[in-house]
Amino acid sequence: MPRPEHFKVWTWVSWSGNRHSIFNSKVGAQYQPPEHKGDMPRIVEGGQLYTGSCHCGAVTVALSCRPLKESSVEGVVVCNCHICQRNAYVWLFPKAENMVLSGSKADIGRYAFSEGLTSKSFCRTCGVGMTFLMNQPVEDRDLAASESSCRAYREVNTSHPVNARVLHGVDVRKPR
C-alpha cells in the first residue's frame, strides 16, 4: 500500500542486525530551523547572507560571503584531522568580520586541541559543532607549538571558519 507523500520513513539497522523504521510524523512536528538571534556580520559586496544554528537553537551563526552555489567557491575544506573527520565538518573560511557566532557564554563550549592553538566551538546543550577558533598563542607553555602549527595559525588567524553543515538551506555536497 503506498504511503502518503508527506510521510518520511527513517530506517536503520541496529548492532544486532535488526531493521527498525519510524515515520517522522509519529515522532513530532517537522523540524523548523531556529532563527539567528544575534548581530549581523559585515555584508560582502555582491555576497549573500546565510544563517545557521545548532539543533536546539541556543547557538546561531550568520555569515556573509559570495553565493555558495557558484561552482568556484574558494575556501571549502573537508579537513582530514581526527576531530574534523569524527564530526564530519565541512569548513568555510570567511574573514572574521563576515561571520558572527551568537549565543550566551553559558551555551557556547570550546574544545581546545592542536597544541592549544585552535579550538572548536559547540553548543553545550545539543553538542553540534559550530565554528573553528584560533586561540591566542601562549608564550610560557612547557611545550612549544611546532613550526607547522605556528605557520597554520598565522595563515588562518584572519578568518573565522564556520561548519557549513549548520547553515540552513546549504547542501554541503554542492559547493565543492
Structural domains of the chain, with CATH = 29-166 (2.170.150.70)
pLDDT confidence of residue 126: 95
pLDDT confidence of residue 19: 66
pLDDT confidence of residue 10: 59
Contacts of 164 (CB under 8 A, 6+ apart): 68, 76, 90, 91, 92, 170, 172, 175
pLDDT confidence of residue 22: 59
Cα–Cα distance, 105 to 117 (Å, whole number): 20
**Phi, psi dihedrals of residue 149, rounded to the nearest 5°:** -65, -40
Contacts of 14 (CB under 8 A, 6+ apart): 20
Using CB atoms within 10 Å of the CB of residue 129, give its burial: 0 to 12 exposed, 13 to 18 middle, 19+ buried.
Answer: buried
pLDDT in tens, the chain (176 residues): 454 555 555 565 666 767 666 555 555 677 788 999 999 999 999 899 999 999 999 999 999 998 887 544 556 788 888 888 899 999 998 888 999 999 999 999 999 876 777 789 999 999 999 998 877 655 544 445 667 666 666 666 678 899 999 999 888 876 44
pLDDT confidence of residue 141: 46
Tell me which DSSP letter residue 25 carries: H
Distances (CA, A) of 105 to 31, 37, 50, 137: 25, 14, 22, 21
Cα–Cα distance, 82 to 94 (Å, whole number): 23
Instruction: State the CB neighbour count (10 A cutoff) for residue 125.
Output: 16
pLDDT confidence of residue 129: 96
pLDDT confidence of residue 30: 76
